[in-house]
Structure 1
């Protein structure tokens, strides 16, 4: 399959600010994007997506009729729109506002003010996301790997599963929190665990500690995909036995590299 190019992207932009919409549209044109629909609210964007699904949706957080969070969650609930790449552009920094968007599998979150280079990086991540079926694991047999996905967000698990399946991974079990993940590790053999940090009942750090100290698979590689930004907590997760950590949203190529590294070491 030929890789999609920047000038082939179809993009819907939802931005209520006239000034900001002009900036985004100009940057997109400068980067070679030619098919751009500029809209001002979430309802019209959803209507347009249903008529002609784009490759990418770029949205502000605060819209006149809903939030960017409402928009991406609505998209993820509709089969026709569920796999469309989503980028948020926002000056919001509060974890509780941004985390639901990260959990929904956003390709990127671009903070305001932003540059054309920032947008270019996000668009490159979008191309990688769209072309993830072309991302193959080197010197591994992905169809034989047994992977456990642990995350309390259904959308986050779905996003990670999509990327893994695109890499050729076929045997994927799921758990909704660390306690359920620990049960599955007790009952089944796995080659790899991919877990979130913040979860009810048992978090990702506690799950890693259980695997290293109380399971029959103490050398089981554990990759943490998380929106947690507290460096002290992340350091504690590493000490508990997490093999590698990357943030949400994550790029398919980043997950590919981590899988190759931790499985090679294992």
Structure 2
């Protein structure tokens, strides 16, 4: 609490932070509009998934430039670096996974119901919506960079949580990619490594990353107050929204999946249950 009080006592630059909200929105919108143009040209809207991580990186970089002279330099560099490493790794992973594939079945199903132009519907319901979510979820990234005090206990705890989250996400993605690359595993359920401790190590990693970034903002009571909603929104999306539920519905009919569900945690890691 001492770190929060010290940072808050120096005064939070509300006017410049408010202006930054506009710059961040413009950055997120620009990424989504460029991605939309690429998608229309290619005829495949799944490229928007690649833009998710790039959008957060763009917001972090724009905020870092706009907050010069306002926030602590070390904290600005820390938050920008952590967000960029996470965002660009995720974008590269999704791009590799999508290479050589056509449209994502989720977008095919959504756009099949489009009243009128598929592209116009995709712009409204996918790109602009994701741009708004990038802006909202990135509030801790924006708010933390305007905190004038140097990083304190909350910031270093947040960095540690971010690192644990990145480990789960990156290692889980790599383990799944190796498993799927073996033709002998076709149609089988991945239940090894981190996937034996949680059915969604990548989503759990995302969860930790965004609560970690929020903690970095918590060195200032003002920054925490303006950005607490963001990790809650991300947690809802991962656990109850477009993350875990959609994937589990897709996997439900796969042979062996019911047994996997019975012995493996649905989200938070724990040792697998033993067979009776």
- Bigger relative CO (Cα 8 Å, ≥ 6 apart): 2
Instruction: Compute the TM-score of the two structures, normalised by the length of structure 2.
Output: 0.30
User: Which has the larger strand fraction?
Assistant: 1
User: Which has the larger helix fraction?
Assistant: 2
Instruction: Compute the TM-score of the two structures, normalised by the length of structure 1.
Output: 0.31
